[in-house]
Amino acid sequence: MTPRHLTAPAPGWTVDTDVVVIGSGIAGLVAALHCRPYGRVLLVTKALLDAGSTRWAQGGIAAALAPDDSPSEHLADTLTAGVGLCDEEAVRALVAEGPDAVRRLIALGAAFDREDGGGIALTREGGHHRRRIAHAGGDATGAEISRALLAALKNAEGASPGSDGVRVIEHALVLDLLRDGAGRAAGVTLHVMGEGQPGGVGAVRARAVVLATGGLGQVFSATTNPEVSTGDGVALALRAGAAVTDLEFVQFHPTVLWLGEGARGQQPLISEAVRGEGAHLIDHAGERFMVGRHELAELAPRDVVAKGIMNRMRETGASCMLLDGRHLGARVWERRFPTILAACRHHGVDPVTEPIPVVPAAHYASGGVRTDLYGRTSVPGLYACGEVACTGVHGANRLASNSLLEGLVFAERIGAALRSDLAAPPAGIGTVPADAAAPRAEDPGEGGGLIAPSARGDIQRIMTAHAGVLRGAEGLATAERELRALVPAPGDARPEPGVAAWEATNLHTVATAIVAAARRREETRGSHWREDFPERDDTAWAGHLVVRMDGGGLDTAYEPLRRTGAADERKERR
């Protein structure tokens, strides 16, 4: 059973605003900045403003900025990587608006790496047929983008009172969506943990709620995601009745630094850009095993490379494969990849003199809260952008370096949508129902109750063992059964409300939804690899799995893909 709400104390304070943005990665920061001309904006973030996934992004941001590149070529590469499940209209919006969106980011102060002639230095990554990846600080692109956006936000915070300012609350875990009598989003409940902020559980009343909460990588034992990536936005949306789609497509980055058997938590990413500069994947005998598996070899789309690594590990019995960049030389490592070089050396590996041990690890959720082209979800007044959203851009497998661009472009689009959506005469911000977040008796019919904080490790173990890179019917059934066993039975002691229990419950909700979708899709496509159904099946599975809350459980429905004429003619390249 999945709870319809998080058990929590009643709100002890309230704040009124026009737009509340949840999250402070690229999507949340851009959304806040683009919404502020149209009303009061409150930005809520779970930790510090710069603690989200964006700051960890090494690879860069993809856009057709070069004279010999074009949005149509970027479109083709994105559709190919998505293995038939991209929404072409969404991808067209991404690639057409992307170049100017990046230029606006530069105008805001983001400093990208430059060539000697002054132009933006562009590199190539997996799945791209052109050099179209812009970097900053070599391999610190996300950190530089965050710096520029936070500087702009600081200026906005210092603006005069009124519609020009952005208020910020840090160290706040958002709990549940508030809705008015018509079912429209009317704000959120949240728990603030930071010193100097309103303490405990409170309520934000707003005319629009923007989810930009990032990913869900902490549902697995090993991930590139930070500790705060516990799927809070997806879980909140499910409890609110929103449609969530494509959750089975969790991308495992092929090259994450192997820290040894049993390593857990956030692990260092070895950017695709290293392979773009010429590093090779080899096995322990020195053979380049990706050659012959795909025309792009090590630069194939991520799902192909991850599967290639896993297959070679199984064939040889090895615990990891090796990324060999010794031939790049010390100067390239120091100039292009200083962050990666430092991380590897911190863990006792020197890429200049030895190959890097690598394995795939959970990296990115291609699915999420379903939106239209302007971030609107199926719940009126609730919007989503960035990794928490499913715009349809990524399909079954995200193309490298499209994530930052998606967060940028679709956050700007939410700003455009709210310009008109908030222009309608407000019905007034409704009062928060007295029992909006009050403790309630658990109703078995609606599936209530918190998951014990101690179950977090169990959830990660279950998901890694049975719903990771390799999946099958037996393992997924085991995962479903073991996840269900973590739900307290009637009469059992209930966990006390608190951050640890709320996060464990969110992880459990998201894990249950991922397993349900993965079990239903009986084919292999993109980042969803079913060993018992090893082939892609367009006859039965050219469509999306949509998950919704139904009573105390999750309902998974299949929706065939709606293709445009152009897509029908092209029949995406394989």
Return mean pLDDT, the chain.
90
Residues 207 and 259 in one domain: no
Q: Which of 391, 399, 392, 396 is nearest to 542 (CA)?
A: 396
In-domain check, residue 491: yes
Per the annotation, the verdict on 264 as an active-site residue is: no
Three-state DSSP at 21 gives strand
Residues 228 and 111 in one domain: yes
Q: What is the secondary structure of 425-444 as a DSSP string?
A: PP--PPPPPTTSS------T
CA 454 – CA 187 distance, rounded (Å): 30
CA 51 – CA 474 distance, rounded (Å): 38
In-domain check, residue 448: no
CA dist 318 → 239, 263, 281, 283, 322 (Å): 42, 16, 14, 9, 10
Q: Which of 57, 86, 70, 58 is nearest to 128 (CA)?
A: 70
User: What's the pTM?
Assistant: 0.90
CA 64 – CA 149 distance, rounded (Å): 22
User: Do 228 and 209 form a contact (C-beta atoms < 8 A)?
Assistant: no
Inform me whether the pLDDT recorded for 158 exceeds 60: no
Domain count, the chain: 3
Calculate what percentage of the chain has a pLDDT beyond 90. 77
pLDDT of residue 125: 86
Inform me whether the pLDDT recorded for 154 exceeds 90: no
Q: Copy the structure tokens of residue 168.
A: 């910020």
Q: What is the secondary structure of 374-417 as a DSSP string?
A: TSB-SSTTEEE-GGGEE-SSSTTSPPTTHHHHHHHHHHHHHHHH
pLDDT of residue 44: 96
Residues 355 and 376 in one domain: no
Instruction: Look up the CATH number of the domain holding residue 225.
Output: 3.50.50.60
CA dist 387 → 81, 260, 275, 384, 412 (Å): 17, 28, 24, 9, 15
Q: Copy the structure tokens of residue 130.
A: 């052109």
Start-to-end CA distance of the chain, whole Å, equals 40
In the block, which residue shows the tokens 């495992």? Answer: 252
Phi and psi at residue 382, to the nearest 5°: -105, 125
Q: Which of 473, 553, 488 is nearest to 519 (CA)?
A: 473
Residues 273 and 376 in one domain: no
Contacts (Cβ under 8 Å, ≥6 apart) of 562: none
In-domain check, residue 556: no
Count each helix (H run) and each strand (E run) in the chain, helices first: 15, 23
Inform me whether the pLDDT recorded for 264 exceeds 90: no
In-domain check, residue 446: no
Q: Name beta bridge partners: 173.
A: 191
Domain of residue 538 covers 453-550
Q: Copy the structure tokens of residue 262.
A: 């049993």
Q: Stretch 355-375: mean pLDDT, rounded?
A: 97
| Final residue belonging to a domain, choices 360, 384, 405 | 360
In-domain check, residue 4: no
In-domain check, residue 93: yes
Residues 166 and 291 in one domain: no
| Final residue belonging to a domain, choices 309, 343, 360 | 360
Q: Stretch 40-48: mean pLDDT, rounded?
A: 93
Residues 377 and 512 in one domain: no
Eight-class DSSP state of 423: T
Catalytic position from the list 92, 124, 302, 370: 302
Percent helix / strand / coil, the chain, rounded to 5:
35, 20, 45
Inform me whether the pLDDT recorded for 164 exceeds 70: no
| Final residue belonging to a domain, choices 360, 375, 408 | 360
pLDDT of residue 563: 61
Q: Copy the structure tokens of residue 200.
A: 């405990």
Inform me whether the pLDDT recorded for 566 exceeds 70: no
Instruction: Look up the CATH number of the domain holding residue 545.
Output: 1.20.58.100
Residues 242 and 304 in one domain: no
Residue pLDDT, tens place only, 302-328: 888 999 999 999 899 999 999 999 999
Instruction: Look up the CATH number of the domain holding residue 295.
Output: 3.90.700.10
The alpha helices in 15-140, defined as continuous H runs, are 26-35, 71-81, 88-108
CA 454 – CA 504 distance, rounded (Å): 8
CB atoms near residue 303 (< 10 Å): 28
Residue pLDDT, tens place only, 173-231: 999 999 999 999 999 999 998 654 556 899 999 999 999 999 999 999 989 998 999 99
Residues 20 and 59 in one domain: yes
Residues 148 and 269 in one domain: no
Residues 292 and 337 in one domain: yes
Q: Copy the structure tokens of residue 121.
A: 């230095």
Three-state DSSP at 281 gives strand
Q: Which of 69, 71, 163, 57 is nearest to 110 (CA)?
A: 57
In-domain check, residue 157: yes
Inform me whether the pLDDT recorded for 433 exceeds 80: no
CA dist 319 → 28, 256, 312, 355 (Å): 38, 13, 10, 15
User: Do 559 and 520 form a contact (C-beta atoms < 8 A)?
Assistant: no
Residues 301 and 166 in one domain: no
Contacts (Cβ under 8 Å, ≥6 apart) of 106: 112
Residues 380 and 356 in one domain: no
In-domain check, residue 560: no
- Better-scored residue on pLDDT, 430 or 140: 140
